[in-house]
Structure 1
């Protein structure tokens, strides 16, 4: 294939070869023109005929060189376009691969972020549920504490009332003891008087 052998020839060397070939073609045309002019100047028919034949040969050679150079230029241009197309294709494939890798990386990051967000949302829901349960429990404990405070207040009031009643009972008991002592003393006096009276009656 021409593309496998061509990479060793640089564009600068091709331009030098093209310039050399075109210079040769121009030199051949100039030589043929000079030869014809010189033959015409001599006025010799034989020299003119020879110069004409030489001009035709040199012109044909120049034309061949020019056409060959034109064909080579077209082949070089086609080769350059093919190489550029190949380079563009390789570049496009590399960019497509890089883009696919980038898209895959971005999608993976998005998936990771979505998974993290889902975990955070689940954790937030659980935390809200725990807070709600703790709030309900705290309210229940507060109600029980209020009930306990009310019961303690009522119990303290009942205790105060009981202590007051006990104090009154102690006072009343002391009064009754005094009354009992008085009655006993009176009973002893009455009993003594009765015994004295009985004794006097018996002696009489």
Structure 2
């Protein structure tokens, strides 16, 4: 916006300068035309005094026209130099503004890149932690599974030992019953023998 205002003011001043320039050049041309007409008229009259006066007037008119033209040329050059300086200043301001915008854009992009890199680092750290935790949980699960298998095997083995003990206890109970039965038979036989021996002894007496 600041650069557009000088351009608009400069554009508004340009037609006025051109009108002034056209007016000055028209005056210079009119002086030359008037001087030429006066010289032609003096020559046509063939009057020495009039010719001299016409020559002096033509000389003064030529000098005036030359001065006006020179002044217009100097003014035009100054205006052109002023316009070039204004344009250079405007271009410099535009360049500075664009440079500032480029620097701001670069800084903003650097900030965004730094934020993305930081976010990536955080995510990578979180991913590494999650992977480590998953590996630890998998290892613990394997250990628990092995413990469970071992406990299952131990339980089966204990159950087998218990079954074997129950079987051996049952066999022992059966054996005890058999031995008790045999013992009863032996005692009965012993009682019978003792009774028979006592009877024989009694008879012999």
TM range (shorter): 0.7 to 0.9
Aligned-partner Cα distance in 2 for 1:197–1:23:
191
Q: Which residue pairs with 2:81 in the alignment?
A: 78
Q: What is the root-mean-square deviation of aligned Cα atoms in Å?
A: 2.3
Q: Which residue pairs with 2:143 in the alignment?
A: 140
**Once the two structures are superposed, what CA deviation does each residue of 1:131-151 show, in whole Å capped at 9, x if it has no partner?**
332233233323322322222
The alpha carbon displacement at 1:17 in A equals 0.4
Q: Which residue pairs with 2:22 in the alignment?
A: 19
Structure 1 unaligned spans of 5+: 1-5
Q: Which residue pairs with 1:3 in the alignment?
A: none
The alpha carbon displacement at 1:111 in A equals 1.4
Aligned length: 197
1:100 lines up with 2:103 in the alignment: yes
TM-score, normalisation: structure 2: 0.85
Aligned-partner Cα distance in 1 for 2:38–2:198:
204
The alpha carbon displacement at 1:177 in A equals 2.4
TM-score, normalisation: structure 1: 0.86
1:30 lines up with 2:33 in the alignment: yes
For residues 162-177 of structure 1, the aligned pairs below 5 Å read 162-177=165-180
Q: Cα–Cα, structure 1 residues 29 and 142, in superposed 2: closer, same or farther, change >3 Å?
A: same
**Once the two structures are superposed, what CA deviation does each residue of 1:156-197 show, in whole Å capped at 9, x if it has no partner?**
221121111112112212222222232333334344444555
Higher relative contact order (CA 8 A, sep 6+): 2
The alpha carbon displacement at 1:91 in A equals 1.0
1:87 lines up with 2:95 in the alignment: no
